[in-house]
Amino acid sequence: MYQSKRMILTIIIACQLIIVLDASIMITAIPQIGRSLHMTATSLTWVQNGYILPFGGFLLLGARAGDLLGRRRMLGIGIGLFSLASMLAGLAPTAEFLLVSRAFQGFAAALATPAALALLSASFVEAKERSRAIAIYSAVSAGGGSIGLLLGGFFTDFISWRVGMFINVPIGIALLYLVQRYIQKTGTRTGRFDFWGAIVSVIGMTAVVYGFVQAAERGWGKPETWISLAAGIILLAAFVLIEARATEPIIPLRLFANRQRSGAYLGRFLIVCGNFSLFFFIPQYLQNVLGFSSLEAGLAFLPFTGAQFGMMYLMPGLVHRFGNRKVLMAGLLLAIMGTLWISRIVGVQAQFFPQMFILLAIMGIGAGMVFQPLTALGLSDVDPQDTGAASGLINVAHQSGSSLGLAILISVFDAAIHTDQPSKIHFAHAISSSILGSVLFITSALIVTLICFLPASQPMREQALTDSCQGNEAS
């Protein structure tokens, strides 16, 4: 039984790793992709958002599909389609072909990811083993981005950025075999797909992100900027109405009835808004200002990655001793401190070692302390029929934070650069402003978690919430 569970965890972690890697593996390759496919700086942001938006937008539909059609089946379908899309992206002859392939990748990832997390939740039910499994899953989810930077830089410098896509194909084939062999077939049930809810949410979020990208490229005064933002907000409001009236919604609004769970979702969204953007801006700074190669820019994130993965081994003990809330708060404070400090030292004459090295390690420790508690709290006290939706919602918060945070901070970068032909001084100043925006996002996450995890004022509600928190911390 132990060997079987270890193999299930290995499959789930490997699946999550290749999906998370693909959100960042292109970042260090962006200059070369732009040259080879003749893409502008603004259009290159869609290499990232073209993957992240359908990933986040269709996650809940993927979670619902897993509930109805079986989670093992959807995991296999998602991995198979992801491998095919990766091969197409690697072969892309034009920018348009690459962006469509990346969107296809994101859709496939949306089918596989919630099934993987739901299988993890169902396979590890004992408190101690579940805590360890979630710690490993959270470390891979959060740290996989920096591994992607390293691999992307290596492939770009020594072979080609296309290898970052091709490598998913043999890994995907191996995972398909292992899924069929080691994961038991899961049950199916009858029900309906909330197709319109999924479509409206994807189009709405895409419109909002497009509006911020247009603001960066054309300015806030252009009609297309405000029309896109207004349309996105209206569509997202319509999505909430659709979910409230749907017989079987992809987001059961009852998931937000628990204040702590709502805080976990919103807190995760805000943290990723700030955290993921660092993976985009810091490599650009290292390459364009300090003259790092693609591989060197990827290697520069090793202190972040090493610290984050190191926390994976300490987190079960920390959570057991101090509880999810205290560990989460401490991690957020470390992340804020490291990110704020690094925003102040970015400049033309800055040196990577020792200051940036140490600060990236501090930021990695902070990131390693926040995602496991947020995952555990996001899954706490969820009814069995809502497990898939809750798992999907955790990933939606993560991916929508990635895309929206990057879009907003790109507009901050563009506003701060002040010229069409920026010097290194202009570029460094704009990067510093963008990283300061990341600090504001992470600070907002701290405020949200403080509000959502404070005891209620009435004595009876206070005691009930205390009991609930103790139960969550034990899990």
The number of CA neighbours under 13 Å toward the Cβ of 168 is 33
> Per the domain annotation, does 189 fall within a domain?
no
Query: Where is the domain boundary, 206, 234, 249?
Result: 249
Residue 214's domain comprises 194-249
If one counts every other C-beta atom within 10 angstroms of the C-beta of residue 4, the result is: 12
Residues 234, 368 within the same domain: no
- DSSP sequence for 371-397: HHHHHHHHTTT--GGGHHHHHHHHHHH
Three-point CA angle 464, 467, 469, nearest 5°: 110
> Per the domain annotation, does 198 fall within a domain?
yes
Tell me the C-alpha distance between 238 and 234, whole Å. Answer: 6
Residues 294, 347 within the same domain: yes
> Per the domain annotation, does 125 fall within a domain?
yes
Residue 74 CB partners (closer than 8 Å, separation 6+): 62, 65, 66, 111, 112, 114, 115
Residue 266: the pLDDT is 94
What count of residues does the chain have? Answer: 475
Residues 351, 450 within the same domain: yes
Token representation of residue 415? 């506003």
Query: Where is the domain boundary, 249, 271, 291?
Result: 249
> Per the domain annotation, does 82 fall within a domain?
yes
With contact defined as beta carbons under 8 Å apart, do 70 and 187 qualify? yes
Residue 77: the pLDDT is 95
Query: Where is the domain boundary, 249, 268, 289?
Result: 249
Q: What's the CATH number where 94 sits?
A: 1.20.1250.20
Residues 262, 164 within the same domain: yes
> Per the domain annotation, does 200 fall within a domain?
yes
Total tally of structural domains belonging to the chain: 2
187 Rama class: left (phi>0) / alpha (psi -120 to 50) / beta? beta
Residues 41, 169 within the same domain: yes
Residues 256, 233 within the same domain: no
Residues 201, 269 within the same domain: no
> Per the domain annotation, does 91 fall within a domain?
yes
Residue 162 CB partners (closer than 8 Å, separation 6+): 90, 91, 92, 155
Residues 240, 257 within the same domain: no
Residues 301, 223 within the same domain: no
Residues 255, 399 within the same domain: yes
Predicted TM-score of the model (pTM): 0.80
> Per the domain annotation, does 75 fall within a domain?
yes
If one counts every other C-beta atom within 10 angstroms of the C-beta of residue 314, the result is: 14
Any long-range contacts for 230-237 (C-beta under 8 Å, 24+ apart)?
A: 231/204, 231/207, 232/204, 232/205, 232/206, 232/207, 232/208, 233/204, 233/208, 234/204, 235/200, 235/201, 235/203, 235/204, 235/207, 236/201, 236/204, 236/205, 236/208
- DSSP sequence for 285-316: HHHHTS---HHHHHHTTHHHHHHHHHHHHHHH
With contact defined as beta carbons under 8 Å apart, do 395 and 272 qualify? no
> Per the domain annotation, does 35 fall within a domain?
yes
Residues 307, 260 within the same domain: yes
Report how far Cα 285 is from the mean position of its chain's Cα atoms: 22
Give me the tens of pLDDT residue by residue for the chain, a chain 475 residues long: 555 788 989 999 999 888 888 878 888 888 788 889 988 766 777 888 788 888 877 877 887 788 788 889 999 999 999 999 999 999 999 999 999 999 999 999 989 988 888 888 788 878 778 878 887 887 787 667 778 888 888 999 999 999 999 999 999 999 999 999 888 887 777 777 788 888 898 888 888 888 887 887 777 888 888 999 999 999 999 999 998 988 888 788 888 988 888 999 999 999 999 988 888 888 889 988 898 988 898 899 889 888 888 887 888 889 889 988 899 999 999 999 999 999 999 877 778 888 899 999 999 999 889 988 888 888 888 887 777 678 778 878 887 888 889 889 988 888 888 676 778 888 899 999 999 999 999 999 999 988 887 665 444 344 444 444 444 443 3
Residues 144, 233 within the same domain: no
Token representation of residue 32? 């070369």
